[in-house]
Amino acid sequence: MIRVHHLETSRSTRLIWTLEELELTYELVEYTRHPKTRRAPLSAKSLHPLGRFPMLEIDGQILAESGAILTYLVEREGKLGPIDGSAVDYTYWMHYAEGSAMLPLLVKLLTSGVRGARLPFFIKPTAKTIANTIDENFTDGELQAHFGWIEQALEGKTYFAGEQFSAADIQMSYPIQASFARADVFPARPNTSAWLERVQSRTAFAIALQKGGEPIMTATPQ
């Protein structure tokens, strides 16, 4: 039995995508964010102490963390892993997605939330100034550096680990999709745009989107 614990508008759409690529049968258990806080429900902590998504029930255990889950599935099924000569790139991008690329995106999400928050009129200018300062001194520069590097790394490449689609592409999909929601920070990124169009044209992605919904964050993350 394979069961996916899926939170709406979250990274766990990647897990559904992976299972569809692997052609595995699974049960989808859906969770809804709190309408005001946009946080995950507290009931998720009955599955894992952190209560964060995605979570996968498989082989008598509950797995958490996207990279760990995808790695387990790749090794279990013997599919979507690196091909000859691509192991270094594959491993790098599998870890880079959450280890590096997501940090400035999350900070930008928080600073945008501060600027749009309903605050007393005498506090709002100070809050906006703090948010703008964080973005000017850290966030925007980090976003440009990271996603400029991704654009450079995709030059002349079909996928992140070479010419074969792999779990590294699924893992990298979330930060790249989220980065296009911040398009005002970036110049044109033809390599990244072509890669995104390529992977989103896959049948398994379309099925995952239909079942799991739009993965991109628009509010406070869980």
The residue written with tokens 């044209």 in the block is 201
Q: Which residue has the tokens 């009955």?
A: 46
Which pLDDT score is estimated for 38? 79
Long-range contact set of residues 36-43: C-beta below 8 Å, sequence gap at least 24: 37/220, 38/219, 38/220, 38/221, 38/222, 39/220, 39/222, 40/7, 40/222
At how many degrees (to 10) do helices 140-153 and 167-180 cross?
A: 140
pLDDT mean over 91-115? 94
- 17-41: per-residue pLDDT in tens? 999 999 999 999 999 888 877 788 7
Average pLDDT, the chain: 91
Using one digit for the tens of pLDDT, what is the confidence trace for 140-188? Answer: 999 999 999 999 999 999 999 999 999 999 999 999 999 998 777 788 8
What does pTM read for this prediction? 0.91
Enumerate the domain spans of the chain.
3-77, 87-202
Q: How far is residue 217's CA from residue 51's CA, in Å, rounded to a whole number? A: 17
Residue 220 has pLDDT above 70, yes or no: no
Give me 15's structure tokens: 């897990």
Q: Is 179:142 a contact under the CB 8 Å cutoff?
A: no
**pLDDT in the model for residue 216:** 62
When mean pLDDT is compared across 91-100, 112-121, 197-206, the lowest value belongs to 112-121
* Residue 165 contacts residue 199 (beta carbons within 8 Å): yes
Topology of domain 3-77 in CATH is Glutaredoxin (3.40.30)
For 41-61, what is each residue's pLDDT tens digit? 788 899 999 988 899 999 999
Which CATH number is associated with domain 87-202?
1.20.1050.10
